[in-house]
């Protein structure tokens, strides 16, 4: 039987879509242009969040496989780049919102209370999928937890609270699967299951710290020769030595406690950090080229997400100054602290502080493990 011709408006369900901007009045002709803009921008952003959740689930599922098939890394990078662009897109819409004046926003703001973007279940799902832990969350203010804020005012579960509760059950997060995948990276040709792997990783870490120390020494020798006075040099020396000490401690994972003589958690973290450093340092090796792109795309994604948070905060400050939010938070102060404190891929950012130029790197061992053929 012949298929009924498709209409543009049927396929996109435009009649239903265009009937959804009426706000509490259920009638957009009763609203100002500013309020319709406010509704449309939020709705469009929620649609982008919907797409972001799908992409994050796909990326998570790619990394969930053990081992991760080499050929999926290019798809993972494509998915993460799409996510990055999505968050830039969402952040870009705030400029449109800024065409509304404070006075005009105040014209309809009261009827929103106590609703707030704080009740966006999809943004919470995005954060949970990334790997932001509930214990890391900044309180909104008042007694409510972020989960309670998603319930109906009388405490009943809502569509939003149920969606977030289901997502909390939906483990693992992107952070967890990526961490496991990085952990399995061969370091100087050695894999975690190989005998003597801890020693190989330990040697690489110490060689890297020694190379870093030589770089700092060369820099400080030069700085001493060029310093205007002793005080200026002493300050610089303190800074560089402190940075070196903190890099060494980070690579040795000294921040991870060894309780009851169990060093396994520390060795695991040390291996992850060494692997990140290794991938970034020897990225020309064929087996490491795509992993390095994956790591870079994740940093770019988190950067886009942070810019989205900051851009929202600046738009809010311009719109309502420092007053309390409709959701009851400290408003801009709350939003700024989320932009400052919510970091998921912390280790990926942290290794940036200790990477070295190519010719200062420790000698590479077992290059053949990485598909490297001499003369390439």
Query: Which residues of this chain interact with ligand HEM, rule CB under 6 A?
Result: 41-42, 45, 97, 105, 116-118, 120, 123, 312, 316, 319-320, 325-329, 331, 334-335, 338
Closest separation in Å from C-beta 117 to ligand HEM? 2
- CB of residue 49 to ligand HEM, shortest distance in Å: 7
Closest approach of ligand HEM to the CB of residue 298, in Å: 20
Residue closer to ligand HEM by CB (options 59, 339) is: 339
Closest-CA residue to 361 (of 247, 262, 271, 280): 280
Is the CB of 202 or the CB of 328 nearer to ligand HEM?
A: 328
User: Angle CA(116)–CA(46)–CA(168) in degrees, nearest 5?
Assistant: 80
Choice between 198 and 333, CB closer to ligand HEM:
333
> How far, in Å, are 2, 221, 232, 314 from residue 243 at the CA level?
71, 16, 17, 32
Tell me the CA distances in angstroms from 56 to 7, 60, 89, 363, one per residue in order: 31, 6, 16, 37
Closest CA to 247 of 209, 218, 280: 209
For residues 307, 312, 313, 314, the Cα torsion angle rounded to the nearest 10 degrees is: 90
Give the residue with the Cβ less far from ligand HEM, 75 or 99: 99
The least distance separating ligand HEM from the CB of residue 275, rounded to whole angstroms, comes to 31
| CB of residue 41 to ligand HEM, shortest distance in Å | 4
In the block, which residue shows the tokens 């087996």?
A: 287
Q: At its nearest, how many Å lie between ligand HEM and the CB of residue 168?
A: 16
- Contact indicator for 63, 177 with CB cutoff of 8 Å: yes
CA distances, 141 to each of 81, 144, 334 (Å)? 35, 7, 9
| Nearest to ligand HEM of 105, 372 (CB atom) | 105
Shortest spacing between CB 179 and ligand HEM, in angstroms:
23
Helix (H, G, I), strand (E, B) or coil at 132: coil
Inter-helix orientation angle 102-109/33-64, to 10° = 80
Given the complex with ligand HEM, which of 212 and 312 has the nearer CB atom?
312
The nearest distance, CB 319 to ligand HEM, in angstroms, is 4
CB contact at 8 A, 115 and 326? yes
* Beta carbon nearer to ligand HEM, 272 or 313: 313
Minimum separation from the CB atom of position 99 to ligand HEM (A): 11
Contact present, 247 and 174 (Cβ < 8 Å): no
Closer CB to ligand HEM, residue 246 or residue 310?
310
3-state secondary structure of 259: strand
User: Please, are residues 107 and 33 in contact by the beta-carbon 8 Å criterion?
Assistant: no
DSSP-H helix ranges across 321-350: 332-341, 346-350
Is 42 or 266 the residue whose CB approaches ligand HEM more closely?
42
């Amino acid at each position: 039987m012949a298929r009924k011709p498709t209409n543009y408006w049927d396929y996109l369900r435009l009649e239903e879509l265009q009937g959804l901007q009426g706000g509490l009045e259920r009638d957009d002709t009763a609203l100002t242009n500013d309020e319709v803009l406010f509704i449309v921008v939020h709705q469009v952003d929620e649609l982008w969040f919907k797409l972001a959740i799908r992409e994050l689930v796909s990326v998570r599922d790619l990394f969930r496989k053990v081992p991760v098939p080499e050929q999926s890394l290019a798809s993972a990078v494509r998915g993460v780049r799409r996510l990055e662009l999505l968050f830039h897109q969402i952040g870009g819409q705030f400029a449109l919102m800024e065409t509304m004046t404070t006075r005009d926003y105040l014209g309809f703001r009261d009827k929103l209370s106590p609703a707030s973007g704080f009740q966006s279940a999809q943004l919470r799902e995005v954060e949970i999928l990334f790997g932001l832990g509930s214990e890391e969350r900044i309180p909104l203010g008042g007694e409510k937890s972020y989960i309670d804020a998603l319930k109906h005012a009388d405490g009943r579960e809502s569509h939003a609270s149920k969606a977030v509760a289901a997502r909390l059950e939906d483990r693992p997060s992107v952070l967890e699967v990526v961490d496991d995948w990085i952990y399995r990276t061969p370091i100087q040709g050695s894999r975690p299951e190989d005998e003597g792997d801890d020693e190989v990783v330990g040697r690489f870490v110490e060689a890297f710290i020694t190379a870093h120390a030589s770089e700092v020494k060369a820099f400080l020798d030069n700085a001493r020769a060029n310093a205007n006075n002793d005080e200026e040099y002493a300050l610089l020396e303190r800074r560089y030595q402190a940075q070196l000490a903190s890099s060494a401690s980070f690579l040795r994972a000294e921040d991870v406690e060894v309780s009851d003589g169990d060093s396994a958690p520390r060795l695991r973290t040390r291996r992850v950090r060494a692997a990140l450093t290794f991938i970034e340092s020897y990225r020309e090796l064929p087996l490491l080229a795509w992993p390095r792109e994956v790591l870079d795309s994740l940093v770019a994604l988190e950067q886009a997400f942070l810019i989205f948070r900051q851009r929202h905060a600046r738009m809010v400050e311009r719109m309502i100054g420092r007053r309390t939010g409709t959701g009851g938070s400290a408003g801009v102060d709350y939003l700024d602290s989320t932009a400052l404190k919510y970091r998921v891929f912390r280790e990926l950012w942290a290794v940036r502080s200790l990477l070295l130029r190519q010719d200062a790197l420790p000698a590479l061992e077992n290059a053949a493990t990485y598909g490297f053929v001499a003369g390439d």
